[in-house]
């Protein structure tokens, strides 16, 4: 919790500094873009450490307002994407889906590939949340194929895609398939050295088989099925 508190302090400091810079020269698009990015970062950081509050919503609305006036559409799309993430985590699934369905192709059109994948993953999460498991599975398989073709096979985002597909299979009682995708997610976490990915997969796999799940915590996982 102390690290979470420090993270919130840092993004609040960043937001205050960028706001002051923007107010000193409102016509400067670079400063306006930096301020919009700081507001997005404030919401995203709080969302990732489970400290979502009303200020996050206010920050996003301000980011959308500011970025909508900029000649470069990048910041506006990123503001809308984070707003969709906020809507999803605050149980506004319908609003989030409406936003993100338009965002995914718009991001891809601007060659914002990683952000487009993030939007696609959010679509799949929403489908799972509303129990449309077939659509969720279809979307995730498409994203995984697309990511692999763009050399994103060993990234945090691919680990998220595998984990979400595991969650979909677990929801429809296909536990063996669910475990395999949790395993793939954990393997990427092991390769990247990201503890949270490994623990997330382990906790979910342990619900299926608490003894078999232990292998997701061993370094041997990295060398299994190696090309």
In this prediction, residue 105 carries a pLDDT of 95
Sorted by where each begins, the domain ranges of the chain are: 1-90
Domain at 1-90: CATH code = 1.25.40
54-67 and 29-48 helices, crossing angle to 10°? 150
Q: How far is CA 61 from CA 5, 50, 69, in A?
A: 23, 19, 13
Instruction: Decide if 38 contacts 11 (C-beta within 8 A).
Output: yes
Q: What is the pTM of this model?
A: 0.90
pLDDT in tens, 102-161: 999 999 999 999 999 999 999 999 999 999 999 999 999 999 998 888 777 778 999 999
Tell me the pLDDT of the chain (227 aa) as tens digits: 567 778 888 988 999 999 999 999 999 999 999 999 999 999 998 888 877 778 888 999 999 999 999 999 999 999 999 999 999 999 999 999 999 999 999 999 999 999 999 999 999 999 999 999 999 999 999 999 988 887 777 789 999 999 999 999 999 999 999 999 999 999 999 889 899 999 999 999 999 998 888 888 877 776 665 54
The two three-digit tokens of residue 184, written as one number: 């793939």
């Amino acid at each position: 919790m102390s690290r979470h508190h420090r993270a919130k302090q840092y993004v609040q400091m960043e937001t205050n500094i960028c706001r002051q810079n923007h107010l000193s020269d409102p016509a400067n698009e670079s400063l306006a873009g930096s301020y919009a990015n700081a507001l997005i970062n404030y919401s995203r950081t709080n969302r990732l450490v489970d400290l979502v509050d009303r200020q996050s919503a206010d920050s996003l609305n301000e980011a959308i307002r500011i970025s909508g006036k900029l000649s470069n559409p990048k910041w506006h799309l990123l503001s809308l994407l984070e707003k969709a993430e906020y809507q999803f985590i605050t149980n506004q699934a319908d609003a989030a889906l409406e936003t993100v369905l338009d965002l995914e192709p718009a991001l891809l059109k601007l060659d914002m590939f990683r952000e487009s994948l993030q939007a696609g993953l959010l679509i799949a999460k929403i489908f799972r949340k509303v129990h449309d498991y077939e659509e969720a599975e279809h979307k995730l398989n498409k994203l995984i194929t697309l990511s692999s073709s763009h050399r994103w096979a060993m990234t945090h985002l691919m680990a998220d895609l595998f984990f979400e597909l595991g969650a979909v299979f677990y929801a429809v009682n296909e536990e063996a398939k669910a475990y395999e995708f949790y395993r793939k997610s954990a393997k990427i976490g092991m390769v990247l050295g990201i503890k949270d990915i490994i623990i997330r997969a382990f906790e979910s796999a342990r619900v299926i088989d608490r003894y078999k799940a232990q292998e997701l915590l061993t370094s041997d996982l990295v060398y299994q099925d190696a090309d």
